Amino acid sequence: MSSSTPPDSSPTPSEAPWTVRRLLDWIRKYLGEKEVDSPRVCAELLLGHVLGCERLRLYMTPDLEPDPEQLSNLRALVGRAADHEPVQYLVGVWPFHGREFEVAPCTLIPRPATELLVDRALDEIRARGIRQSWNLLDLCTGSGCVAVSLLATLHAARVGPLSERFQAGESRELPGVDEVDPEEEVALDLELQPVTSRSTAPGRDQNSEQVESDVPRLSELEPLGALRLIATDIVPEALALAERNANRHGVAEFIEWALGSLWEPLSPEQLGSFDIICTNPPYVSDSEYLALDRNVRDFEPEQALRGGGDGLELVRPIIQSASDWLRPNGLLLLELGAHSAERALQEARALDQFEFLEIQEDHEGFPRMLVARNRS
């Protein structure tokens, strides 16, 4: 059987069995012929997903033979991957900031550059004091990866040894509360306040089954300080997915979910109330959108990508109004496109509303995030 033909659910008697080793080799070659990016990684992810195991486990069981149903499922997934459908959507989960998140075509796939928002927000909380009250806003939450990562990290940081690591700047992949010796637990002055009233997106079932989490809920810990987060999005399906991710990591009851574009879901009483606003809005210009790779342009939601002619169609109103919603000395963290970052910085300066402005580069050295501190 050639590498250009997916395997049937079972080999003919004259063929060698479809072992893990043989399947990995076939998928890698087949996707390579279809010019799919990173075909080896895709092969590992797809086969691991079908077999329900980690990628490393595949190389520990190279002679394992998947059953006919697994081969059939794999064949279908490989065919979709060959059409450049993102492997993240095919396996349904993707890592972000040291945690795993459900992903679906209603939201963007979380990317490493967006982790800047989480890291900078945690730096701010660390610098100004985890013990004080915090009121946070996540505009255009999408999969909820930013909001959930913030709360989940702060959750872990409430316990003694972890609090020291958090204060030292180690914010990723902290173990859960149940992994810490109870004799070493030292509670911090941080309470995540349960939300009693939430905006419910049309079409969302309030009684739908929630994803159970192995992480202890924050309400089970000793309440001390206060932390509140509001997450907004214009897509009801995105809010539903974000809430599932929050349940996965044990923080959903402390997030208020609000349906609407940018500031629309907020009330006038919330003006001047936020310590930190994080946002990853659509910022791809029209010309850039047409030049995107096929696996992005044809499969990720256009509404979450396109930012108009110059990429600032939604960025601009965020910059113009953020100062009104921030507290004095509050912080705006805004992800941007590399080609529009400098223009966004200039427009923010022209408003003369912020005490401090800078563009922070991402891990690849591209200008990626506007950091703007409100006047005191």
Given this model, what pLDDT does residue 6 score? Answer: 55
Cβ-in-10-Å burial (0-12, 13-18, 19+) of 263 comes to middle
Check whether residue 72 and residue 173 sit in a common domain: no
Domain final position from 33, 63, 91: 91
Structural domain tally of the chain?
A: 2
Given this model, what pLDDT does residue 168 score? Answer: 54
Give tens-digit pLDDT for 232-271: 999 999 999 999 999 999 998 889 999 999 999 999 999 9
Domain of 114, in residue numbers:
98-374
Residue 342 lies in a domain: yes
Given this model, what pLDDT does residue 160 score? Answer: 38
Given this model, what pLDDT does residue 162 score? Answer: 41
H helices present in 159-259, as ranges: 160-167, 236-248
Average pLDDT over every residue of 11-23: 77
Q: Is the pLDDT of residue 288 over 50?
A: yes
Q: Any idea which residue has 């932390």 for tokens?
A: 227
Taking phi over 0 as left and psi of -120 to 50 as alpha, with beta for the rest, 260 belongs to: left
DSSP single-letter state for residue 191: -
Domain final position from 91, 109, 128: 91
Check whether residue 340 and residue 207 sit in a common domain: yes
Q: Which of 163, 138, 132, 157 is closest to 218 using CA atoms?
A: 157
Specify which of 178-182, 251-255, 370-374 reaches the highest per-range mean pLDDT. 370-374
More confident residue, 213 or 293: 293
Taking phi over 0 as left and psi of -120 to 50 as alpha, with beta for the rest, 182 belongs to: alpha
Confidence of residue 226 (pLDDT cuts 50, 70, 90): confident
Check whether residue 369 and residue 240 sit in a common domain: yes
| β-strands 99-102, 93-96 pairing | antiparallel
**Residue 197, Cβ neighbours under 10 Å: how many?**
6
pTM: 0.81
Check whether residue 308 and residue 365 sit in a common domain: yes
Confidence of residue 3 (pLDDT cuts 50, 70, 90): low
Residue 78 lies in a domain: yes
**The domain spanning residue 305 has which CATH number?**
3.40.50.150
Given this model, what pLDDT does residue 281 score? Answer: 97
Check whether residue 25 and residue 103 sit in a common domain: no
Q: Is the pLDDT of residue 1 over 90?
A: no
Give tens-digit pLDDT for 28-76: 999 999 999 999 999 999 999 999 999 999 999 999 999 999 999 999 9
What is the dihedral angle through the alpha carbons of 54, 56, 249, 104, rounded to the nearest 10 degrees?
Answer: -60
More confident residue, 285 or 154: 285
Check whether residue 86 and residue 143 sit in a common domain: no
Hey, is 30 helix, strand or coil?
helix
**Residue 50, Cβ neighbours under 10 Å: how many?**
21
Hey, is 102 helix, strand or coil?
strand
Answer yes or no: are the C-beta atoms of 171 and 152 closer than 8 Å: no
Q: Is the pLDDT of residue 127 over 50?
A: yes
Check whether residue 70 and residue 126 sit in a common domain: no
Q: Is the pLDDT of residue 213 over 90?
A: no
Report the length, in residues, of the chain. Answer: 376
Cα gap 192→222, rounded to integer Å: 10
Confidence of residue 203 (pLDDT cuts 50, 70, 90): very low
Cβ-in-10-Å burial (0-12, 13-18, 19+) of 250 comes to buried
Please give the radius of gyration of the chain, using alpha carbons only, rounded to the nearest integer: 23
Domain final position from 91, 112, 138: 91
What tokens does 161 get? 């040894």
DSSP single-letter state for residue 184: G
Residue 10 lies in a domain: no
Q: Is the pLDDT of residue 216 over 70?
A: no
Confidence of residue 214 (pLDDT cuts 50, 70, 90): very low
Q: Which of 199, 194, 296, 310 is closest to 254 using CA atoms?
A: 194
